[in-house]
Amino acid sequence: MRVAIYSNDGSTSNKVASQLKAKIKDSDKLNYDGLNPEIVISVGGDGTLLSAFHHYIDSINKIRFVGIHTGHLGFYTDWRDYEVQQLVDSLEDDNGQSVSYPLLSIDIKYKDGGPSDSMVALNESTLKRVNGTMVTDVNIKDEFFEKFRGDGLCVSTPTGSTAYNKSVSGAIISPQFNAVQVSEMASINNRVFRTLGSPIIIPPNEWITIIPDDPYHNILTCDQLLVKNRPIESITYSISNDRIYFAQYRHTHFWKRVSNSFIGVHKDD
Ligand code: NAD
């Protein structure tokens, strides 16, 4: 089985990555292949897994990910840095088991007459404005829904619902749902201006289009990436036809992960 390692630059991560590489070289069943891997092991935190996802985006349907965390518990990282041998044993016993999660499709049209862009996010995409109020039309299935005024909008996947979306009071969605959520960032609501004021969640056969009044001065993100600075005509969000796959050697129940990460104290503690 062809295995790649994608590590951050931390000293613990580098140490773990070297140990892994040596064990892969010693294995009869595993080959190190950074160009055309079947398994990508991310070593670091959620941010490292996000970077690995975007690095291998062109072959995303052929890859299964495994996350080792070298810092505090992450959402996409099931293995600890001291479990390298157990992970290698699991890789050698691999029988193709996987779990997959929905991704966000982002189609961007620009006002400069240049080519449009299509991107895929694992966590979310945000459209924000820092100098002044962001004013946009929000359409659902090409029908006008509302005029949004505020700091910005966050459009997230179910696995991304525990990230930025949670900080702006979006709901946490189990990744068993194929859904996309739109959450507001500091919307202006008064007698003159009105937005829905609640997060909305759309199913696979619907899409959301955001059309900023001002094509300039917007900040568009896709996970940790800043999308290039071109005047935006519209952004259409929907559930991607692609999914992310994780090798499922062990399974932390989603709600257990949420409880461990955000609540921490348990009944028996
Ligand atoms: P990072 O690696 O420092 O990540 C920031 C934090 O988000 C970390 O604590 C990480 O564990 C956590 N995180 C990432 N994905 C998560 C997920 N799916 N569920 C729960 N927690 C998650 O920074 P980065 O590499 O720039 O990561 C980019 C991500 O940071 C973005 O996708 C966004 O979700 C998040 N972010 C959050 C805020 C906020 O909450 N106000 C602001 C900016 C970015």
**Average pLDDT of the chain, as a whole number:** 95
> Residue 262: pLDDT band by 50, 70, 90 thresholds?
very high
Q: How far is the CA of 162 from the centre of ligand 1 (A)?
A: 9
| Structure confidence at residue 264 (pLDDT) | 85
Indicate whether 267 pLDDT > 70.
no
Q: What tens digit of pLDDT does each residue of 193-206 get?
A: 999 999 999 999 99
The identity of residue 154, as a single letter, is: C
Local confidence band at 228 (pLDDT 50, 70, 90 cut-offs):
confident
Decide if pLDDT at 224 tops 70: yes
Domains of the chain with bracketed CATH = 2-97+248-262 (3.40.50.10330), 102-241 (2.60.200.30)
- Report the length, in residues, of the chain: 269
Smallest CA separation from ligand 1 atom 21, residue: 163
- The tens digit of pLDDT for each residue in 65-93 reads 999 999 877 899 989 999 999 999 999 99
- 189 confidence band (pLDDT: 50, 70, 90): very high
pLDDT in tens, 127-149: 999 889 999 999 999 999 999 99
* pLDDT greater than 80 at residue 266: no
Query: Of all protein residues, whose CA lies closest to atom 2 belonging to ligand 1?
Result: 47
Band (pLDDT 50/70/90 cuts) for residue 227 is very high
Question: Average pLDDT in the 31-36 region?
Answer: 97
150 three-state secondary structure:
strand
Instruction: Give distance in angstroms: CA of 223 to centre of ligand 1.
Output: 8
Residue of 57, 45, 44, 51 whose CA lies nearest to 13: 44
Model pLDDT, residue 169: 98
- Residues 79/66, Cβ–Cβ less than 8 Å: yes
Question: pLDDT band at residue 252, thresholds of 50, 70 and 90?
Answer: confident
Give me the mean pLDDT over the 198-222 stretch: 97
State the Cα–Cα distance between residues 127 and 115, nearest whole angstrom. Answer: 19
* Ligand 1 pocket, CB under 6 A: 45-47, 50, 74-75, 123-124, 159-160, 162-164, 167, 223-224
> Is 46 labeled as catalytic in the residue annotation?
yes
Cα separation, 256 vs 264, whole angstroms: 10
Among residues 26, 28, 46, 242, which one is catalytic? 46
The predicted pLDDT at position 180 comes to 98
> What pLDDT was estimated at residue 198?
97
Percent of the chain with pLDDT over 70: 98
pLDDT at 265 over 90: no
Burial class (CB in 10 A: 0-12, 13-18, 19+), 179: buried
